[in-house]
Amino acid sequence: MTTLDDRLAPPPSSAASTTARLRVVLLLDVLDGRQQQFLQAYEQIRHQVAAVPGHISDQLCQSLGNSSQWLITSEWEGSEPFLEWVESAAHRTMVEPLHGCVRDTTSLRFLVARQTPEEGAPRTAKPPAAPSSAPADEIDPLPAPPLCSGGVVRHAITFTVKPGSEPEVAKLLSDYSAPQARVDDTTRLLRTSLFMYGNRVVRAVEVAGDLGNALRHVAAQPEVRAVEAAINPYLEEERDLTAPASARAFFARAALPATGHESAAAAVPAAEGGEPLTRLAFLYPVRPGRGADAARLLGTLDAEAVADPSHPLATATVFRREDTVVRVIDVRGLPSDGPAVPGADGASGVLRELLVPGGPVDPTGLGLGGHPMTPVTDRASR
């Protein structure tokens, strides 16, 4: 597998290229909404590439920190069979299905210089892994690639504090300097929004680039470390962010992945010259076992709303872990006379049946039955 225009790149100059195996690395940025098309195209192409003389193997990988970033690696017996194929008309025809589903590609070629274990060498037995104190699915803070839409990765974490400590926690979380926005050459922290409802805290982040790199960057900032240490005594569940295993377990438990994002075609952030928007958040009182259904219906209703130019909803992101469902929205203005709960028809009526009735009234009418959360901080980089 190779980039769509890799045939234009100069061939390796080393004399060793005629004998050493070749590794080709292809980085791809898949367009929003085209992931299934991309996977179908790859499924079709990979079997054709496997039949090309000189091809050894192929791997397709998805970034753990950004769902739109993919990697294809292929290994060849040498550079000559690869170059012969990549410069052929058959190659151009073969990769045609990828043209409509990728935004950008970067191709790199490497001659294999060393390998462990060496070819033909017997594999040494590895000692058994030490037993883990937590199940595997509770260790990785990013067990699946986070949602990426419009080049922005969205993710949230949530935890609870001891009842009665909410005012002090809110003060601590609002009274500290924002971390540096630039993470590295490819990753930037765009926005952090923090909300509370009762004793539940939700922090939503938006990142351009790799989410994992951004989270590690934020966690390493001295001002953030100081705040996290200050709120530790107020947490309902203890944690130790100075111990790597404990930190990973906490962020895995606290993860609230984005399940969907909707945006009006004309929605432009105020920082980029767009109209001012107000950010709100809602926590949904979901009946046991119905979190996935509620999140799906919220996404359906948000898609309908952003498609209506007269509707105040500009963007909406739904976050969910099991039955914890949070929706963060950006709106134009704040209507005060809309319905506080979903209507009785269509998806709205079904959603209403999934929620526990009661709770505070939503003065904006945009919560769709969710409890309005109190904003604590909302910081956007410039």
Residue 225 is predicted with a pLDDT of 85
DSSP classification of residue 235: B
DSSP summary character for residue 161: B
328-337 tens-digit pLDDT:
999 987 655 4
Contact 143, 42 (CB under 8 A): no
Report the chain's terminal Cα–Cα distance, integer Å.
39
pLDDT of residue 325 exceeding 80: yes
* pLDDT recorded at residue 303: 94
pLDDT of residue 216: 80
Residues forming CATH 3.30.70.100 domain(s) in the chain: 6-111, 146-380
pLDDT tens, residue by residue, 227-267: 888 999 999 988 887 777 777 788 888 899 999 999 997 65
- Confidence (pLDDT) at 146: 79
Q: What is the pLDDT of residues 284-296, one digit of tens each?
A: 999 999 999 999 9
pTM over 0.85: no
**C-alpha span between 331 and 251 (Å, rounded):** 29
What is the model's pLDDT at position 298? 95
Tell me how far apart the alpha carbons of residues 114 and 111 are, in angstroms, rounded to a whole number.
Answer: 9
Other CB atoms within 10 Å distance of the CB of residue 100: 11
Q: What is the CATH number of domain 6-111?
A: 3.30.70.100
Q: What share of the chain is helix, strand, coil (3-state, %, to 5)?
A: 30, 30, 40
The architecture (CATH level 2) of 146-380 comes to 2-Layer Sandwich (3.30)
